[in-house]
Structure 1
Amino acid sequence: MPHHRHSGVNEVGRILPCTCGRATLDAPRILLLVSGDVERNPGPMIRGAQWNAGGLSQAKQIALERKLHEDMVLFCLLQETHLALAECAALKVGAYQHVGQARTPHGGGVSILVRDGVGVEVGVLEEKVPERATVTLRFSADVSLTIISAYFPRKADVSSEALDTLLGANGAMVIGADVNSHHVLWDPLRPSDDKGECIVDWCVQNDMRIANTGMATRRQPGTAALSSPDITLCRDCEISNWKSASSPDSDRYWITFDVFVGTSLDVIAPSKPVRALYSWNRHVGTILEN
């Protein structure tokens, strides 16, 4: 059955007021949040995950391996692993290949885990801001997916020039990033800040879509205040079933999502047949209809 996707962005031209951010948001920006259609894409899915580990200790590695198995994850994007060079080179988590950038004075370390047996082409490993690891997954001669784990330290500036460094590859791409910034399009729990505004502008200019559903991705230690400093972006592919769940192993939540790439890819990571949209997506849809 062919997949019919609503164009959305070009169908709505009016300006929509935003009551929880500083500036008005136009329809294309609102639609950046809605990465899936009302009807789930019937095609095959790849299960991805994203997690700021806050230091990947031995105990957290064990917990991580369990979560990867339970959620049938094909790839996982990790931030703030805090691994030294030797630890990063030796890391092995279950039946997963590892590609990573060790911790430096500038950042906390980023890694990517990919299930054994999947073709992996290692790309950029960068210690400068944004700290990042890049891998391209080769499923067939015609189907590939570039995945990036990125980290912006809290005190680092976010600029369009820095974000542009994430655009090295053409084609389908998923970016899992701890941006340490906030915008109503992915974090309704905090006021938008300048870094968040810059990221949204960059997404609009580069056809990136924000997959977050408005759920929290962090519970602040001590105060239990919730926020969403972690985002998942995609281009030339579809993301559905984005959700976050609190983790006893970190103040950051465990994020999972399904990625659809191409039309001939076999099912690699079976997912549960969840069809309902999350309440935040429904809220955005109501805004667009009224």
Structure 2
Amino acid sequence: MTRPTAQDSYLVGLIGSGIGTSLSPMLHQAEADRLGLRYLYRLIDLDALGGPPDRVGELVHVAGDMGFRGLNITHPCKQLVLDHLDALAPQAEAVGAVNTVVFEGRGPDCRAVGHNTDVTGFAASFDQGLPEARLRRVVQLGAGGAGAAVAHALLTRGTRHLAIADPVPDRAASLVARLNLRFGDGRATVADSSDLGTVTSRADGLVHTSPTGMTGHPGLPLPADLVHPGLWVADVVYRPLETELLRLARARGCAVLNGLGMLAFQAADAFRLFTGREPDRARMLARATELATSFPGPGAHASGP
């Protein structure tokens, strides 16, 4: 292994709530060790700090002043952080959510630039895990920061119609409006509770992007009788690896995809942005699988660091 130099030293972190058992530190550290880098990944837990989610802006500025190379951003800050950045990469701007911040320059010239690796992370996971899945009609549950990223990935991958349901109707409507502006009128629609049965019965696939089903938030994100054998079902939750939704879908003969691939591949893309080094994506997925099975306890948010 090459001996690391001062230029190979990286201080990075993760801002979010309830992130004490996130797999991201170990996942990033393993890849850094393989490449011979000095790499310190710090958790900045809003719950431990006792601060509200909108404190994310203050924390980003402090991290830049302290010499951090970059930050991952997770629930509930992926959209709140937007107003506190100096610039957005085109994909992050289009999605309207950021899960990775890179600090460019040092001192008074330091700029915080927002990126979104959830889009590419989900797309890579989907391509690997459900390569034969039909994408004509898809139902998506959740319209938050992760949901916005997944929606962009699905429409970019060729989904002809995406029906989006969210407990906050205005949030779903806002996301749908942005998607149609980018991808064309009618590519996305809002599905309220009265529509969900109809759109699901006609769908090729169902993707779930909310925290429901993760440890501490048990349950199903939709009525069980709407999960039918003609669907493929993807869940961005990775703790537990098999949520109640995926267990039900598997029992009914559906092809399923858990959130572990999205975790690993978004981490690989963030690692490249932080270091300029190309990670071994297959190795990071294998490491994520090992960590998820070795440390199956509570924590780590759905669909993100």
**TM-score, normalising length: structure 1:** 0.28
Structure with the bigger percentage of helix: 2
**TM-score, normalising length: structure 2:** 0.27
Structure with the bigger percentage of strand: 1
